[in-house]
């Protein structure tokens, strides 16, 4: 497996780029790249030349997270002041504005069926679930407090939830917190199942393997990428190699590789059969906040694509060749 | 005809007929089909492929043909092609059990168990009685579970195996007499016995020894039962197929496992052991199988026989990596290191994916050079290849030496080791150590307790020192987890047995201190110092620093100093101690420790130590050179400047310097503060009490009145000391908040900076909304309920912000409420003053003059030493005609003015400015001019004051028609032009007017042009356009050659007037002029 640089856009935004995701292809157009930045804008890019397709403004603080609906028609962006704007990708019409107290919106993800939007609830130590038909809050999955701690205890802030991920079958939700634990929920019963341990610093990004709903990957500030058996509660592998915080992780559509972005300014590609980094891209000049593989689908598109965004204001696109 | 022949059993005739037909016509597909089937039956695979391919062209939708083609490919070894053919057959007809099963088999063979399992499940759905599907599914699950187990997912593997075992058992009912099913069942059970994990029941801290024992026993029993069942199954298989040599070896391995699980070690050396015997059975049948020899070597109890077996195996196959590895292990056990290393090297070079040689090499290198990273790396490799408890425990031990204890790899490994070796105390102990290294003290304590339970179940075989180590570990993690009571209990138990060493004493003392038993703690600490000073001097620094700190906390500064003076000087020879002594020295006004400090400082060597000490010295100077409650910031700043000259890349010193510069009361250096810090996003480590560069930047940006210097849309700051990094602050703070979203400090500073930005932009609605939301969350933080002064201060600031924002958005009621909340916080009067000031403003907006008067009086009562407060109050007073007895305001503000030295003139001038403005409001222009003239004389280069003075002079000149004021105005305004950093608007216009009135036409023109350029394009007022029209008229009159390049000639006079009217259509003057022009 290999990554090859295709295109890089310097100063794609006026400020640090913090969030990236792919909007799946629709019948009318191919998959697009969606990026969010500290400059309070969200931009849409058409691969492979990364032509600017649209620019959405309206946030009052930096955009921390973007998410795309599996249908590719709508997407959501969230800023530091915790407004989530849900918009139509092609027309940029606002569909809904979801509001939460500041500090209570971080990573977001639509479930595979597209019926629910899960939002990592930051200081509220929970995941918020929004219905995508009515745009109403349907559930709050809270991380239970450890036994014996008082409600006023400061340890509540340690469960600050930063990241969230749906399992490919849509039955499980995992969220990563500041103290390094990952909590797994059963969505249908709205029930907390267990914690996964192995990190001791904030878990910034989570992703389930597309081929196996038990396997979960996590990226943490302790500079490790962990691979868990999320059902069996066990740590399968810890992959080291980054020199600093790992800020983002995504898994390739074939499930054979993961890519990570880190504070050490590199993007790495990891071969899961070897559980080791096989390639390091160091084209960014500042920390890399996001990496995203293009989901499969769209007419006549077979090639794998990986995008990365960084504090250096640039966006890079790579060709990913699996085996 | 063919059918007839077929019925007659004349197969060869059928073939001949078909051949003929197919030769004659390539379109005789029926013939190809027939031929293909026959060739398949006759095992003529490659011919069959050709015929079948041809036939498929005629019958592309015939599932039978595809299936047959798949089979042919499979037999030829073309597996991917076979899978595709089978897949096509299944696509055409989804009830093709044969195709499903066979493609499943191929997938299993290729190692993609997951897909194989799917195929078998489909097959079983269609035909639930199919033995081959059962068998395939069970073996697929076995393969999948082995994959999981190799990853370390024991629980997952075990659950898969349970399902597989059920399936295999079920298929034995379907077809009882197949040896291979029994063998499969045996394999499944054996793997289960090897992977079944021990699970901790409940995460309670109090672990009952009995419960632990029973849980271990039940775990062992499960494993044992599985092993026995495996052995039974193998025996059945052997019974059915006695000539299968490998089953002998399987039985041997199983019985060996049963032996280990039952711990029946009493071996009669003369008698043949069961495992040995069984493996010999295999060898008797197949003497030239090298792997059987290796198995014999592994299972045999005699070293000589082992060696013989391995060597025999190697003779048969010299590249047998496993044999080399085990041989290495054997040699290592016998102490022949050289030979062992060679054997491991050999094995590793043959097959680098074998775990054992890596582990062996790691143990070997560790013995040679224990501090290197290499043994850790090789052991890690071994663990990654094969998650065996022995390797994992070894890895944890090595990580302790190489400092990798907190790494996630080690954590994962030791967690898995506990699952597979729960009876072994060391695995729990190491688990505890790893948890402790990751700051999870609760789990660490639980693990240590388990380790002790494991020791007591093993009874007698563990040395006492091991017990002591674990107990001390337990006490330490308990005390770190904040459970001092239990920690003391542990230490007391140890003391009774006389097992308390230096570390134990330290934990004992600190736990006692936490419990408030100070006397006992001190006596324990004394024992500790004695123990240290008699034993070893070099490593005792930790104990000494501990003692000094404890002494300071318990009996105070004086006693600590006298004790330090009493102690022998040799004890202070280390950098650690030096820091403690220096810190105590810093607080001591009588300098008793001078000599100790200076002698101990010689032992500082590293860069971090030296810069750290400079920091401490700067703080010391701050305290020692200060007077009373005031710190002497200047001396600290001076020291840091010198230190920074020596160590320019020390961020520690830079940040402190920035902090001190910001902390100076006179705020002259705030703009420098932000410049001396380097903003480094990767530097996120914040030590307690020290300030981050981000915080300095943000605080500096708030402290400077005008941050957005680059953006002239909103203000025209006249301050010469520009905060260069100011505009960077808000993005930087957002970056910080993204890195640490839980950090309340980052949020607090972001709010303050946002307020500053909102103020500069005249409180636009959208910024107010953002601020309101941020404030609501920040204020709801329980963090601010703490009584600590710094938290209260932050809360106060936040409340004032909230109040200000409410006031600006017109919500006076909540503004008043917020300010009232702020005014009751427990803070010095100087701060509370501002809450009341805000209340004054809010009441003024409400026209509630009774309350306004009240708040005004309470402001006067509280007083503040922040001049800006007095100035605001003064403005309030004059604007709302508030009554006071005598002239308290003036007196008290002047009183505070006396305290400042360096910036005194500045503040005096500001007071004069305020006086002048007040006179101006009262339309007393002469008086205003006087005040401002005084202000100007106090401060030489403040363009803002001169501008005011100039403007007032102009007004006076207009009123009194006196050229004296005109010349004064010209003087002041010229000064402004000279001193301001960039051209201020209005100045040149006024100057032009003044010069024009005195008849200097050229100067009038020049200044008007200057005025044009001193406005940002989008802000130019209507009058300016009108003036440009005048200028254009003038130049038209003159009409010299150079005029074309001037501003006024850019467009016609008419256009200028039109633009002026466009901007301000209500001014009649413009219309008049336009009319004239039109005419």
Distance from CA of B547 to the nearest CA of A (A): 31
Q: What is the pLDDT of residues A59-88, one digit of tens each?
A: 888 899 999 999 999 999 998 888 899 999
Interface test with A, best of B113, B153, B406 (most A CBs within 10 A): B153
Q: List Cβ neighbours of B12 (8 Å cut-off, separation of 6 or more).
A: none
Q: Can you give the pLDDT at residue B899?
A: 66
Do the Cβ atoms of B800 and B834 come closer than 8 Å?
A: yes
pLDDT score, position B876? 82
Strand A83-88 relative to strand A74-79: parallel, antiparallel, unpaired?
antiparallel
CA-based nearest distance B449→chain A, Å: 19
* Pick from B108, B109, B160, B99: nearest CA to B130: B99
Of B154, B681, B773, the CB nearest to A102: B773
Distance between CA atoms of residues B866 and B869, nearest Å: 6
User: Do A318 and A6 meet the contact criterion of CB atoms below 8 Å apart?
Assistant: yes
- Residue B1049 belongs to what domain range? 1021-1079
Q: pLDDT, tens digit, for every residue of B948-1007?
A: 888 888 888 888 887 888 888 888 888 888 887 777 888 888 888 888 888 888 888 888
Chain A closest CA to B157's CA: distance in Å? 9
Using CB atoms, pick whichever of A80, A158, A232 lies closest to residue B155: A232
Nearest CA in chain B to A196: B412
Report chain B residues whose CB lies below 8 A from the CB of A157. Answer: 742, 783
Quote the percentage of chain B above a pLDDT of 70. 89
pLDDT for res A108: 93
Residue of A nearest to B160 (CA): A232
Is B411 in Cβ contact with A235 (below 8 Å)?
Answer: yes
Report whether pLDDT(B147) > 80.
yes
- Model confidence band, residue A149 (pLDDT cutoffs 50, 70, 90): very low
Asked if B153 and A286 come within 8 Å (Cβ–Cβ), the reply is: no
Question: How far B774 CA sits from the closest chain A CA (Å)?
Answer: 6
| Residues above pLDDT 70, as percent of chain A | 95
| Interchain pair B409, A263: CB under 8 A | no
**By CA distance, what is B769's nearest residue in A?**
A60
Q: Is the pLDDT of residue B684 over 70?
A: no
CB contact under 8 A, B738 and A157: no
Length of chain A: 323
Q: Is domain A2-143+157-321 in CATH 3.40.50.300, yes or no?
A: no
CA separation (Å) from A36 to A61, B217, B728?
Answer: 11, 56, 19
- The answer to whether B419 and B199 have CB atoms below 8 angstroms apart is yes
**Nearest residue on chain B to A245, alpha-carbon basis:** B682
Q: What are the residue ranges spanned by the domains of chain A?
A: 2-143+157-321
pLDDT at position A166 over 90: yes
Is A61's CB within 8 Å of B114's CB? no
Contact A236 B681 (CB under 8 A): no
- Asked if A286 and B159 come within 8 Å (Cβ–Cβ), the reply is no
- Among the candidates B821, B844, B862, a domain finishes at B821
Which residues make beta-bridge pairs with A318? Answer: A5, A306
- Cβ contact, residue pair A224, B408, below 8 Å: yes
Interstrand relation of A42-46 and A51-56 (parallel, antiparallel or unpaired): antiparallel
pLDDT digits (tens, 9 = 90+) for B26-40: 777 777 888 888 888
- Shortest distance, CA A29 to any CA of chain B (angstroms): 31
Res. B1041: pLDDT tops 60: no
The answer to whether the Cβ–Cβ distance between B153 and A234 falls below 8 Å is yes
> Does residue B1042 fall inside a structural domain?
yes
The tally of domains found in chain B comes to 3
Query: Does B124 map to a domain?
Result: yes
What's the sign of the alpha-carbon dihedral A55, A61, A64, A68? negative
Task: Assess whether pLDDT exceeds 50 at residue B894.
Answer: yes
Res A150: pLDDT: 45
Given B821, B846, B877, the domain boundary residue is B821
Helix (H, G, I), strand (E, B) or coil at A23: strand
Residue of A nearest to B159 (CA): A232
Contact (CB, 8 A) for A244 and B682: yes
ipTM above 0.90, yes or no: no
CA B314 to CA B317: how far, in whole Å?
5
- Report whether A242 contacts A223 (CB < 8 A): yes
| Mean pLDDT within B45-63 | 84
Q: Under an 8 A CB cutoff, do B731 and A226 touch?
A: no
Provide the percentage of residues in chain B whose pLDDT is more than 90: 3
Look at residue A267 in the predicted model and tell me its pLDDT: 95
Residue B902 has what pLDDT? 67
In a domain, B117, yes or no: yes
Name every chain A residue with its beta carbon within 8 A of the beta carbon of B741.
Answer: 103, 106, 122-123, 160, 162, 178
Output the pLDDT for position A250: 95
* pLDDT given at position B200: 67
Q: Return d(Cα A72, Cα A67) in angstroms, integer.
A: 10
- Tell me the mean pLDDT in the region A125-153: 79
Query: H or E element: which one contains A141?
Result: strand A137-142
Instruction: From chain B, pick out residues whose CB is under 8 angstroms from the CB of A61.
Output: 734, 770
| Residues of A whose CB is below 8 A from B783 | 154, 157
pLDDT of residue B10: 67
Question: If you search the block for the tokens 């070997």, which residue do you land on?
Answer: B364
Write the DSSP symbol of residue B630: B
Which of A58-72, B36-50, B312-326, B364-378: highest mean pLDDT? A58-72
Give the pLDDT confidence score for residue A73 in this predicted structure. Answer: 92
CATH number where B145 lies: 1.25.40.10
Closest residue in A to B384 (Cα–Cα)? A237
Size of chain B, expressed as the number of residues it contains? 1079
Looking at the partner chain, which of A82, A226, A231 has a beta carbon nearest the beta carbon of B156? A231
Choose the mutation target among A145, A155, A158, A236 for the interface with B, i.e. most B CBs under 10 Å.
A236
Residues of A in contact with B385 (CB under 8 A): none
Residue B370 and residue B362 in contact, taking contact as beta carbons nearer than 8 Å = no
Report pLDDT digits (tens) over B72-114: 888 888 888 888 888 888 888 878 888 888 888 888 888 888 8
The whole-number average pLDDT for the span B689-694 is 68
Last residue of a domain, one of B110, B126, B157: B157
H helix intervals, A161-220: none
Evaluate the omega torsion of the peptide bond into residue A48 and state whether it is cis, within 30 degrees of 0. yes
- Check residues A186 and B271 and name the one with the higher pLDDT: A186
Q: What is the pLDDT of residue B176?
A: 67
And the tokens for B446?
Answer: 């639980």
Q: Are A282 and A266 in contact (CB under 8 A)?
A: yes
Test B731 with A157 for CB contact under 8 angstroms.
no
| pLDDT tens-digit readout, A234-262 | 888 889 889 888 999 999 998 899 999 99
* Cβ neighbours around B1034 below 10 Å, total: 16
Cβ-nearest to B153 among A154, A222, A236: A236
Among A164-173, A274-283, B371-380, the minimum mean pLDDT is found in B371-380
Q: Which runs of consecutive H residues, i.e. helices, occur in B922-1041?
A: 925-938, 943-960, 963-979, 987-997, 1001-1014, 1022-1038
In a domain, B454, yes or no: no
Q: What pLDDT shows up at residue B6?
A: 63
Q: What is the mean pLDDT of chain B?
A: 80
Chain A / chain B CB contacts < 8 angstroms: 131
Q: Residue B1055: CB partners within 8 Å, gap ≥ 6? A: none
Structure confidence by residue, pLDDT tens digits, A42-51: 999 998 888 9
Q: Is residue B344 a contact partner of residue B328, using CB atoms and an 8 Å limit? A: yes
pLDDT at position B533 = 67
Instruction: Evaluate whether residue B502 is within a structural domain.
Output: no
Kindly report, residue by residue over B429-461, the tens digit of the pLDDT: 888 888 888 888 888 888 888 888 888 776 566
Most confident region among A222-226, B311-315, B637-641, B1036-1040 by mean pLDDT: A222-226
End-to-end CA distance of chain A: 6
If you average pLDDT over every residue of chain A, what do you get?
88
Q: Give B707's pLDDT tier (boundaries 50, 70, 90).
A: low
Searching chain A, which residue's CA lies closest to the CA of residue B785?
Answer: A152
pLDDT of residue B534: 65
Tell me: pLDDT of B361 over 90.
Answer: no
CB atoms B773 and A81 under 8 Å: yes
SS3 B734: helix
A150 burial via Cβ count (<10 Å: 0-12, 13-18, 19+)? exposed
Chain B residue numbers touching A286 (CB-CB < 8 A): 681
Per-residue pLDDT for B198 more than 80?
yes
Q: Is the pLDDT of residue A296 over 90?
A: no
The answer to whether residue B143 is domain-embedded is yes
Are B156 and A101 an interchain contact pair (Cβ–Cβ within 8 Å)?
A: no
């Amino acid at each position: 497996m290999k990554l090859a640089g295709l295109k890089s856009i310097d100063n794609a935004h006026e400020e640090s780029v913090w969030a990236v995701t792919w909007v799946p292809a629709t019948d009318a157009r191919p998959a697009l790249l969606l990026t969010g930045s500290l400059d309070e804008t969200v931009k849409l890019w058409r691969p492979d030349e990364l032509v600017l397709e649209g620019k959405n403004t309206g946030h009052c603080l930096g955009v921390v997270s973007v998410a795309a609906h599996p249908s590719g028609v709508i997407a959501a962006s969230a800023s530091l002041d915790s407004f989530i704007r849900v918009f139509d990708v092609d027309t940029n019409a606002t569909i809904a504005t979801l509001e939460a107290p500041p500090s209570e919106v971080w990573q977001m993800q639509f479930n595979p069926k597209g019926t629910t939007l899960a939002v990592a609830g930051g200081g509220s130590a929970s995941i918020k679930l929004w219905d995508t038909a009515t745009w109403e809050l349907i559930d709050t999955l809270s991380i239970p407090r450890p036994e014996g701690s008082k409600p006023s205890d400061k340890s509540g802030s340690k469960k600050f939830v930063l990241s969230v991920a749906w399992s490919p079958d849509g039955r499980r939700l995992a969220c990563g917190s500041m103290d390094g634990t990952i909590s797994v929920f059963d969505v249908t019963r709205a029930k907390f199942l267990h914690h996964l341990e192995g990190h001791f610093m904030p878990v910034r990004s989570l992703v389930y393997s597309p081929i196996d709903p038990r396997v979960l990957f996590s990226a943490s500030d302790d500079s490790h990428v962990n691979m868990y058996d999320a059902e069996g509660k066990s740590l399968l592998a810890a992959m080291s190699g980054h020199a600093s915080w790992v800020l983002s992780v995504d898994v390739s559509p074939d499930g054979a590789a993961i890519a990570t972005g880190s504070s050490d300014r590199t993007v790495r590609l990891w071969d899961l059969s070897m559980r080791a980094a096989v390639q390091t891209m160091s084209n960014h000049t500042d920390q890399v906040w996001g990496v995203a593989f293009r989901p499969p689908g769209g007419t006549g598109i077979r090639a794998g694509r990986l995008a990365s965004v960084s504090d250096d204001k640039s966006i890079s696109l790579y060709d990913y060749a699996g085996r | 005809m063919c059918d007839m022949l077929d019925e007659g059993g004349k197969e060869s005739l059928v073939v001949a007929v078909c051949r003929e037909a197919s030769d004659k016509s390539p379109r005789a597909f029926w013939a190809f089909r027939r031929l293909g089937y026959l060739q398949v039956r006759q095992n003529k695979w490659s011919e069959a492929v050709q015929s079948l391919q041809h036939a498929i062209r005629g019958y592309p939708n015939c599932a039978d043909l595809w299936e047959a083609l798949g089979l042919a490919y499979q037999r030829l070894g073309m597996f991917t092609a076979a899978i595709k053919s089978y897949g096509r057959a299944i696509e055409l007809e989804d009830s093709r059990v044969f195709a499903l099963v066979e493609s499943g088999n191929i997938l299993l063979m290729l190692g993609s168990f997951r897909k194989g399992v799917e195929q078998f499940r489909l097959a079983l759905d269609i035909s639930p009685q199919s033995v081959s599907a059962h068998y395939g599914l069970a073996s697929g699950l076995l393969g999948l579970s082995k994959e999981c187990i190799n990853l370390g997912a024991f629980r997952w593997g075990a659950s898969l195996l349970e399902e597989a075992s059920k399936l295999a058992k079920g298929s034995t009912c379907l077809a009882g007499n197949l040896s291979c099913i029994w063998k499969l069942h045996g394999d499944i059970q054996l793997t289960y016995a090897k992977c079944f994990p021990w699970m901790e029941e409940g995460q309670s801290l109090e672990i009952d020894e009995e419960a632990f024992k029973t849980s271990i026993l039940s775990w062992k029993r499960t494993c044992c039962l599985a092993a026995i069942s495996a052995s039974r199954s193998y025996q059945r298989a052997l019974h059915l197929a006695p000539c299968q040599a490998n089953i002998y070896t399987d039985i041997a391995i199983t019985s060996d496992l049963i032996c280990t699980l039952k711990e029946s070690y009493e071996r009669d050396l003369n008698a043949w052991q069961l495992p040995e015997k069984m493996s010999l059975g295999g060898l008797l049948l197949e003497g030239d199988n090298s792997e059987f020899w290796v198995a014999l070597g592994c299972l045999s109890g005699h070293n000589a026989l082992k060696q013989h077996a391995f060597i025999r195996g190697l003779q048969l196959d010299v590249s047998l990596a496993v044999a080399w590895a085990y041989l290495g292990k054997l040699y290592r056990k016998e102490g022949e290191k050289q030979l062992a290393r060679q054997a491991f090297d050999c094995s590793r070079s043959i097959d680098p994916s074998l775990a054992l040689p890596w582990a062996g090499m790691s143990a070997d290198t560790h013995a040679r050079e224990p501090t290197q990273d290499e043994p850790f790396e090789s052991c890690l490799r071994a663990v990654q290849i094969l998650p065996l408890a022995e390797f994992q425990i070894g890895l944890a031990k090595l990580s302790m030496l190489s400092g990798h204890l907190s790494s996630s790899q080690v954590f994962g490994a030791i967690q898995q080791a506990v699952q597979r070796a729960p009876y072994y105390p060391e695995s729990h102990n190491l688990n505890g150590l790893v948890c402790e290294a990751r700051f999870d003290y609760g789990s660490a304590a639980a693990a240590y307790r388990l380790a002790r339970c494991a020791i007591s179940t093993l009874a007698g075989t563990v040395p006492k020192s091991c017990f002591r180590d674990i107990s001390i570990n337990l006490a330490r993690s308990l005390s770190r987890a904040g459970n001092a009571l239990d920690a003391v209990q542990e230490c007391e138990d140890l003391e009774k047995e006389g097992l308390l060493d230096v570390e134990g004493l330290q934990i004992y003392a600190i736990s006692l201190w936490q419990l408030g038993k100070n006397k006992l703690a001190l006596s324990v600490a004394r024992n500790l110092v004695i123990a240290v000073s008699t034993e070893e001097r070099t490593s005792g620094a930790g104990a000494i620093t501990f003692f000094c700190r404890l002494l300071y906390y318990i009996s105070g500064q004086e006693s600590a100093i006298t004790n330090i003076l009493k102690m022998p000087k040799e004890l202070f020879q280390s950098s650690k101690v030096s820091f403690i002594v220096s810190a105590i020295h810093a607080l001591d006004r009588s300098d008793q420790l001078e000599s100790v400090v200076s002698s101990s400082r010689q032992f500082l060597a590293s860069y971090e130590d030296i810069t750290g000490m400079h920091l401490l010295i700067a703080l010391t100077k701050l305290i020692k050179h200060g007077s009373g409650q005031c710190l002497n910031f200047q001396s600290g700043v001076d020291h840091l400047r010198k230190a920074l000259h020596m160590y320019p890349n020390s961020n520690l010193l830079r940040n402190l310097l920035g902090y001190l510069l910001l902390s100076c009361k006179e705020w002259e250096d705030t703009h420098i503060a932000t410049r001396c810090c380097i903003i480094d996003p990767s530097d996120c480590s914040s030590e307690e009490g020290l300030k981050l560069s981000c915080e300095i930047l943000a605080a500096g940006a708030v402290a400077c009145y005008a941050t957005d210097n680059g953006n002239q849309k909103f203000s025209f700051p006249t301050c010469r000391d520009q905060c260069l990094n100011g505009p960077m602050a808000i993005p930087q703070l957002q970056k910080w908040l993204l890195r640490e979203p839980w950090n309340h400090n980052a949020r607090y500073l972001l709010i303050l900076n946002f307020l500053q930005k909102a103020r500069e932009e005249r409180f636009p609605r959208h910024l107010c909304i953002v601020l309101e939301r941020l404030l609501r969350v920040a204020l709801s933080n329980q963090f601010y309920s703490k009584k600590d002064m710094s938290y209260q201060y932050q809360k106060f600031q936040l409340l004032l912000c909230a109040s200000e924002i409410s006031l600006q958005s017109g919500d006076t009621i909540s503004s008043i409420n917020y300010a009232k909340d702020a005014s009751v916080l427990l803070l010095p009067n100087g701060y509370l003053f501002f809450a009341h000031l805000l209340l004054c403003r809010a009441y003024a907006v409400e026209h509630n003059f009774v309350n306004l008067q009240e708040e005004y009086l309470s402001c006067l009562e509280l007083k503040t030493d922040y001049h800006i407060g007095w100035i605001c109050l003064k403005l309030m007073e004059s604007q709302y005609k508030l009554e006071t007895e005598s002239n308290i305001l003036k007196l008290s503000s002047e009183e505070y003015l006396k305290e400042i030295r360096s910036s005194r003139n500045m503040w005096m001038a500001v007071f004069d400015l305020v006086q002048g403005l007040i006179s101006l409001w009262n339309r007393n222009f002469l008086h205003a001019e006087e005040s401002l003239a005084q202000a100007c004389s106090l401060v030489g280069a403040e363009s803002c004051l001169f501008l005011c003075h100039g403007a007032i002079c102009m007004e006076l000149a207009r009123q009194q028609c006196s050229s004296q004021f005109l010349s004064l105005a010209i003087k002041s305004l010229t000064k402004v032009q000279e001193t301001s950093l960039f051209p201020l608007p209005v100045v040149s216009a006024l100057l032009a007017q003044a010069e024009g009135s005195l008849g200097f036409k050229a100067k009038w023109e020049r200044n008007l042009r200057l005025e044009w350029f001193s406005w940002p394009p989008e802000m130019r007022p209507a009058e300016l356009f009108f003036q440009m029209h005048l200028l254009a008229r003038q130049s038209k009159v003159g009409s010299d050659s150079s005029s074309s390049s001037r501003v006024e000639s850019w467009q016609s006079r008419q256009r200028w007037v039109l633009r002026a009217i466009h901007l301000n259509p209500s001014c009649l003057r413009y219309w008049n002029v336009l009319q004239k022009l039109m005419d």
